[in-house]
Structure 1
Amino acid sequence: MSVLIRPAGPADAEDVARVQYLSWRSTYDGLLTPRSLARVGSMWGAAHWRATLERVDDVVVPLVVENKHHGIVGFATCGRQRGRVPFYAGEVYTLYLLPTAQGRGYGTQLMVAMARVMMARDLRSAMVWALSTNHVARRFYERLGGRPIGDRTGRLFGERVPEAAYGWPDLAVLAWMQPQK
């Protein structure tokens, strides 16, 4: 299967919004309230993503994974860590795949690509936050070598949500991982 991972641009906004919406509806059903799920489409639609992708700079790097036969099936963003977790310079901000694209190695390929992008920007370590109740995401990060490094209570649409952090103290390990299905 021919797959391309490339930087995202404003022309990708509708596809990115579609991937995020469908991924959230599938992944977070039962993990977030129906009210929060309903807000995803209105808050992060194509207009939001077009504006976001028009003002991309070296701080936030958006990537898409494109399947030759199905178009954009996933996207991710990364950059400098936004919080205050010691010892981790970079952060994976988002990683979303269409439900039909999950389990096919695309997420691993995006993680490897983000590790390489961050290392090219001299960010040698990175972390990611995941909902504590999202066991699929947590196992995914653990399979890729992410170590549990902390917990917090975040806020999403005014809803308090428990989150777990995973970290890679040396991104080189992830950057040179061979993606497998």
Structure 2
Amino acid sequence: MAEAGVRTAGLGDAAEIARIQVTTWQSAYEEVLPPAVLAGLDSSVAEREWRETISDGPATVLVAEEGRWTVGFCAAGPAPDGEVAAADGSLPADASTTVLVSALLVEPRWGRRGHGGRLLATVGRRLAETGATRGISWVPEADSATLSFYRAAGWNPDGTVRTLDAGGRPLREVRLTGSLEFEFEHD
């Protein structure tokens, strides 16, 4: 395997992050999202949104590289109250130090090479240095690969679920949570 690593994303990475997002969703979520939703994904819109996120935050955006190729990305930052709240709306005692991993994708052709683990470990380490103590992420209940990935990292469902409207089809997501010290760090 060529040299692999993780670095902070720059504005010049926005187009490749958008391409990876659209490509990965269209292949990995074809059983989860309606065809019209997947066909309607627009990389130019996604690129603009990623440029804004990279330049204005509040998320930390990282990219994974293998050799000269960008192969994945991760975005994580302070968890909004609505994302970390219990089903009854109450906030946990650690709400202010909980982060949300809002995106973590590795293009399928680059999968199973440790890129996802490196991304998650790096973002966890960086956010822990700012005082974060715990992370959460929402994952489609039908996405067994991503659920297995997070479980391997030591994150588990906390019992909270939500249902989103995915182009007229309900999409049930489970919230996973865990420490920012990961079991599978790859340096």
> Aligned in 2, Cα 1:148/1:7: closer, same or farther, shift over 3 Å?
same
Q: Equivalences for 1:21-170 in 2 at 5 Å?
A: 21-41=22-42, 44-56=45-57, 59-69=58-68, 71-82=69-80, 83-85=83-85, 86=92, 87=94, 89-149=98-158, 150-157=160-167, 159-168=169-178, 170=179
Between the two proteins, what is the percent identity of the paired residues?
Answer: 26
> Aligned in 2, Cα 1:37/1:91: closer, same or farther, shift over 3 Å?
same
> Aligned in 2, Cα 1:134/1:43: closer, same or farther, shift over 3 Å?
farther
> Aligned to 1:179, which of 172, 182, 186?
186
> Aligned in 2, Cα 1:112/1:18: closer, same or farther, shift over 3 Å?
same
Q: Equivalences for 1:5-16 in 2 at 5 Å?
A: 5-16=6-17
1:42 shift after superposition = 5.2
Q: Out of 149-158 and 95-104, give the one that drifted further.
A: 149-158
Runs of 5+ unmatched residues, structure 2: 86-91
> Aligned in 2, Cα 1:91/1:9: closer, same or farther, shift over 3 Å?
same
What is the root-mean-square deviation of aligned Cα atoms in Å?
Answer: 2.0
1:18 shift after superposition = 0.8
TM-score by length of 2: 0.84
C-alpha distance in 1, partners of 2:60/2:17? 14
How many positions carry a matched residue from both structures?
174
Q: Contact (CA 8 Å) 2:34, 2:166: kept in 1 or not? A: no
Q: Secondary structure at 2:118's aligned position in 1?
A: helix
TM-score by length of 1: 0.87
Q: Secondary structure at 1:40's aligned position in 2?
A: coil
Q: Out of 42-51 and 125-134, give the one that drifted further.
A: 42-51
1:147 shift after superposition = 1.5
C-alpha distance in 2, partners of 1:121/1:64? 20
| Structure 1 residues 121-154: Cα deviation after superposition (integer angstroms, max 9, x where no partner) | 2111111110001011111111111121121112
1:2 shift after superposition = 0.7
Runs of 5+ unmatched residues, structure 1: none
Q: Contact (CA 8 Å) 2:60, 2:75: kept in 1 or not? A: yes
Q: Contact (CA 8 Å) 2:157, 2:174: kept in 1 or not? A: yes
